[in-house]
Amino acid sequence: MSQSYDRGIVESFGRWREFSAGMWAWIFHKLTGWILVGYLFTHIAVLSTAIEPGTIAAAGDGEFYTSTLQGLEELLIVRFLEVGLLAVAVFHIMNGIRLLFVDLGIGLTSQDKSFYASLVLTGAITVASIPTFLAGVL
């Protein structure tokens, strides 16, 4: 049976200096989760405007879809936002794998180290992906 303890109000960010690695992992996982679910709705909305079923956008050879997506990709800000989205997604995946292990009771004693590993891997994958994401606009 799981135990719980009184951790106070976590959202009291005035206590941030007292936060442990596990607390930061929890905050970052929640933050990246909010961003990802927000993006999911945005993603479907953007695709819908480009290919709204039953309208002129969906008719013909899909030229409107192609020009909408390629038009967005010409914007530098979109490319930077995509790099940000990648960082958010990679962290959520890495820390998610860590959480699955924690739930299985594996590596509990090194859960702080696995959080730092998640951060390092996220940073490395994001930095390595920047040239691909910015190709053609810089």
For the four alpha carbons of 99, 100, 104 and 108, in that order, the dihedral sign comes to negative
DSSP designation for 56? G
Nearer of residues 42 and 116 to another protein, judged by Cβ: 42
CB 49 within 8 A of CB 68: yes
- List Cα–Cα distances, 48 to 1, 45, 51, 73, 74, in angstroms: 46, 5, 5, 17, 19
Contact residue for another protein among 24, 119, 121, 129 (CB under 8 A): 129
Contact residue for another protein among 16, 20, 73, 120 (CB under 8 A): 73
Interaction site with another protein (CB under 8 A): 2-5, 7, 10-11, 30, 33-34, 36-37, 40-41, 44, 47-48, 51-53, 58, 61-63, 65-66, 69-70, 73-74, 82, 86, 89, 93, 96-97, 99-100, 103, 108-109, 111, 129, 132-133, 135-137
